[in-house]
């Protein structure tokens, strides 16, 4: 058949389909399942149901079919038919109770939310599937939050026990608003940010911060569209929880082709760092396995739990799959406990106050997280009682603030011989090893950054070593925030001197991040000065020769030595001498940043 004839036939099918759309869709449409897999184990966590077969009735994409169904007033009926089939297929999976089915929610059905939910609940009851085994994906390619009925639908879905995910995160409408204002369980990072992630520092910076933000809010992160091992390993190293894409498995309508696990993921990339194994040992030692309640339990179950544990002010809340949904705190129940007939009111079916109504979000982190990341997440979740820990995404226990302090202290003690005890960063021996290795590896550009505080001594003399150490720790924390990928080395030379080594970065990428680092440090460190000193912009002190004079407020200067691609330097002493000469130029510069390139010898 010629291309013109095929186009004519497709057009005829579409015109016919306008009148018989639902009938034809029932005859040809089917659901393909694509696995969503746990990063650390390769085990299948769930499947996304995807529409297939629309081309048989003249529609190029599933979206074309949905648009036509909306125009014909049959979108709700079409979605109900496809959803019921997806549930039937899901129910026939071995051990389906341990999986989650991800369903896309068309924004045009928000107004029909009650009908959609009631129909789905009917199918679930018939198939003996818990609502928490189903997750609705809210695509941010459309502005869901602007719909008048959206908030009510979210409340309805949550109270029924369904899970929610933000789809296409990063390229749509108001995704940060959705993440901030609504109780979502998963965030699916759009393929745009995952494509060649292992070769793009800007994308790595963005994805790392998305993961950090999501975990602070108790949201798990799914990376969509992973097509290479490099993308997968980078996502794993950044703390992504779940992955989906052709590198894992392609969508298939045949259940026989689905596997319970994909072992090739466990074998990908280098082995985990020794430091992480130490952190995991320390964290496991401090885990407290509090009893948990399930969101579908009765309120009376919660009252009994608090009665049997009078010293405990909160308990974790799990869904039917054993995933943490947050905590339930006695504070939120007091108004009912101490009011006349308050407990009877909660049990009243008309009042409809289930456990899920009282769930408070909490940070959720895997047991294999490193201690520094755990501390950062805890510190950024103001007012949180604990961090919820998971193993293979299921509840494993909690870490309190006191336990976390013990973990960090013990880690610092164990690493004292190899790392600076204040910042936890490698010292001069490790810095020298990095410079030697990077100098020999000429496959790409390399940058050696020497960071030195200006006017640190008078600040330390004036305010004392405690605040001096605080400034040093602050800079180390900012370094970790901005430089975290596998191609970055961070070191602490000693005192207020630091080292940053990078491979395969461009000068533009590096200077952009360094500018932010310097700006943030200056903005944060001035807050350590007394108000009157900040106002004057200086303090009185003695210089290194004992002469008393005024000193400007502290800042940091960074001298950067660039080794271009193809240049091999095996002499660390030469590199150190070159870096030393940059310090004065950096301190003399207005911005505190100076970059110089070692030129290869002329032929």
Using CA atoms, how far apart are residues 547 and 537, in angstroms rounded to an integer? 20
Is 420-597 a domain of CATH 3.30.70.270? yes
Looking at residue 495, its pLDDT comes to 92
b/e per residue 276-287 (b: at least 16 CB within 10 A): eebbbebbeebe
Nearest by Cα to 133 from 189, 185, 81: 185
The gap from C-alpha 194 to its chain's centroid, in whole angstroms, comes to 13
Biggest CA-to-CA distance, the chain? 93
The terminus-to-terminus CA distance of the chain in angstroms comes to: 63
Nearest by Cα to 427 from 503, 498, 479, 373: 498
The 3 state secondary structure assigned to 43-91 is EEEEEEEEEECHHHHCCCCHHHHHHHHHHCCCHHHHHHHHHHHHHHHHH
Using CA atoms, how far apart are residues 67 and 73, in angstroms rounded to an integer? 10
Nearest by Cα to 227 from 257, 185, 197, 186: 197
Here the tokens at position 279 are 């952190």
| CA distances, 410 to each of 278, 287, 377, 413, 480 (Å) | 10, 15, 19, 5, 20
Using CA atoms, how far apart are residues 572 and 428, in angstroms rounded to an integer? 12
Looking at residue 343, its pLDDT comes to 58
Question: 389-439: per-residue pLDDT in tens?
Answer: 988 888 999 988 888 888 888 877 765 666 788 898 988 878 888 898 888
| Numbered ranges of CATH 3.30.70.270 in the chain | 420-597
Nearest by Cα to 452 from 483, 430, 427, 475: 475
Using CA atoms, how far apart are residues 240 and 39, in angstroms rounded to an integer? 7
| Numbered ranges of CATH 3.20.20.450 in the chain | 3-270
Looking at residue 452, its pLDDT comes to 96
| CA distances, 437 to each of 146, 360, 408, 596 (Å) | 54, 49, 30, 20
Is 279-412 a domain of CATH 3.10.580.10? yes
Q: Which region, left, alpha or beta, applies to residue 400 given φ > 0 means left and ψ of -120 to 50 means alpha? A: beta
Looking at the domain that runs over 3-270, which CATH code has it been given? Answer: 3.20.20.450
Nearest by Cα to 425 from 480, 373, 375, 468: 480
Looking at residue 274, its pLDDT comes to 37
Nearest by Cα to 38 from 103, 105, 98: 98
Contact 330, 313 (CB under 8 A): yes
Strand, helix or coil for residue 389: strand
Residue 394 — φ and ψ, nearest 5°? Answer: -100, 155
Parallel, antiparallel, or unpaired for β 220-223 and 387-391?
unpaired
Using CA atoms, how far apart are residues 251 and 229, in angstroms rounded to an integer? 18
Using CA atoms, how far apart are residues 375 and 409, in angstroms rounded to an integer? 12
Q: What is the CA radius of gyration of the chain?
A: 28
| Number of neighbouring beta carbons within 10 Å of residue 454 | 17
Here the tokens at position 42 are 């390769």
Q: Look up tokens 């990341």; give the residue.
A: 373
Residues in the chain, overall count: 603
Strand, helix or coil for residue 348: coil
b/e per residue 322-352 (b: at least 16 CB within 10 A): bbbbbbbbbeebeebeeeeeeeeebeeeeee
The gap from C-alpha 550 to its chain's centroid, in whole angstroms, comes to 45
Residues of the chain under the 70 pLDDT cut: 1-19, 140-142, 172-175, 269-278, 335-354, 381-383, 414-418, 442-443, 600-603
Helix (H) or strand (E) holding 360: none
Nearest by Cα to 579 from 439, 437, 426: 439
Residue 387 — φ and ψ, nearest 5°? Answer: -110, 130
pTM score, whole prediction = 0.63
The beta strand positions in 28-162, using DSSP E, are: 30-38, 44-52, 100-105, 134-139
Using CA atoms, how far apart are residues 453 and 498, in angstroms rounded to an integer? 9
């Amino acid at each position: 058949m010629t291309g013109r004839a095929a186009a004519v036939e497709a057009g005829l099918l579409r015109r016919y389909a306008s009148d018989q759309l639902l009938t034809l869709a029932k005859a040809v449409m089917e659901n393909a399942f694509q696995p969503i897999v746990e990063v650390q184990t390769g085990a299948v966590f769930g499947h996304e149901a995807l529409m297939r077969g629309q081309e048989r009735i003249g529609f190029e994409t599933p979206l074309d079919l949905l648009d036509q169904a909306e125009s014909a007033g049959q979108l709700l009926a079409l979605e109900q038919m496809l959803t019921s089939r997806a549930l039937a297929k899901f129910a026939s999976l071995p051990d389906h109770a341990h999986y989650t089915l991800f369903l896309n929610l068309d924004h045009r059905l928000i107004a029909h939310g009650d009908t959609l939910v009631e129909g789905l609940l009917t199918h679930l009851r018939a198939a003996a599937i818990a609502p928490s085994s189903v997750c609705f994906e809210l695509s941010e390619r459309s502005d869901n939050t602007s719909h008048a009925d959206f908030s009510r639908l979210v409340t309805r879905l949550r109270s029924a026990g369904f899970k929610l995910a933000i789809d296409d995160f990063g390229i749509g409408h108001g995704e940060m608003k959705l993440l901030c204002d609504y109780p979502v369980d998963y965030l699916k990072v759009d393929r745009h940010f995952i494509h060649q992630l292992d070769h793009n520092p800007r994308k790595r910076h963005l994805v790392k911060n998305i993961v950090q933000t999501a975990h602070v809010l108790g949201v798990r992160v799914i990376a969509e569209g992973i097509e290479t091992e490099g993308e997968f390993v980078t996502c794993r190293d950044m703390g992504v929880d779940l992955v989906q894409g052709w590198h894992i498995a392609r969508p298939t309508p045949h259940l026989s082709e689905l596997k319970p696990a994909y072992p090739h993921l466990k074998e990908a990339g280098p082995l985990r760092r020794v430091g992480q194994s130490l952190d995991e040992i320390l964290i496991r030692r401090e885990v407290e396995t509090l009893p948990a309640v399930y969101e579908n339990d009765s309120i009376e179950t919660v009252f009994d739990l608090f009665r049997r544990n009078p010293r405990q002010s909160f308990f974790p809340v799990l869904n039917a799959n054993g995933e943490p949904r947050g905590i339930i705190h006695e504070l939120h129940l007091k108004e009912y406990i101490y009011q006349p007939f308050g407990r009877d009111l909660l049990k009243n079916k008309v009042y409809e106050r289930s456990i899920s109504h009282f769930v408070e979000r909490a940070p959720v982190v895997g047991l294999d997280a490193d201690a520094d990341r755990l501390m950062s997440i805890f510190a950024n979740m103001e007012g949180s009682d604990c961090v919820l820990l998971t193993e293979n995404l299921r509840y494993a226990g909690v870490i309190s603030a006191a336990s976390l302090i013990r973990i960090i202290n013990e880690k610092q003690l164990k690493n004292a011989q190899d790392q600076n005890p204040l910042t936890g960063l490698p010292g001069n021996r490790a810095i020298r090893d990095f410079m030697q290795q990077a100098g020999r590896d000429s496959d790409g550009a390399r940058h050696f950054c020497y960071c030195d505080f200006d006017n640190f001594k008078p600040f330390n003399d004036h305010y004392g070593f405690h605040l001096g150490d605080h400034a040093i720790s602050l800079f180390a924390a900012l370094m970790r925030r901005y430089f975290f990928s596998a191609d970055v080395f961070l070191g602490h030379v000693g005192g207020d001197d630091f080292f940053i080594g990078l491979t395969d970065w461009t000068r533009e990428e590096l200077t952009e991040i360094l500018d932010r680092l310097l700006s943030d440090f200056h903005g944060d460190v001035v807050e350590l000065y007394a108000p009157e000193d900040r106002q004057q912009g200086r303090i009185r002190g003695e210089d290194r020769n004992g002469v008393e004079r005024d000193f400007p407020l502290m800042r940091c200067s960074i001298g950067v030595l660039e080794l271009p691609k193809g240049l091999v330097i095996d002499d660390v002493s030469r590199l150190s001498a070159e870096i030393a000469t940059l310090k004065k130029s950096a301190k003399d510069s207005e911005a505190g940043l100076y970059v110089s390139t070692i030129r290869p010898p002329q032929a």
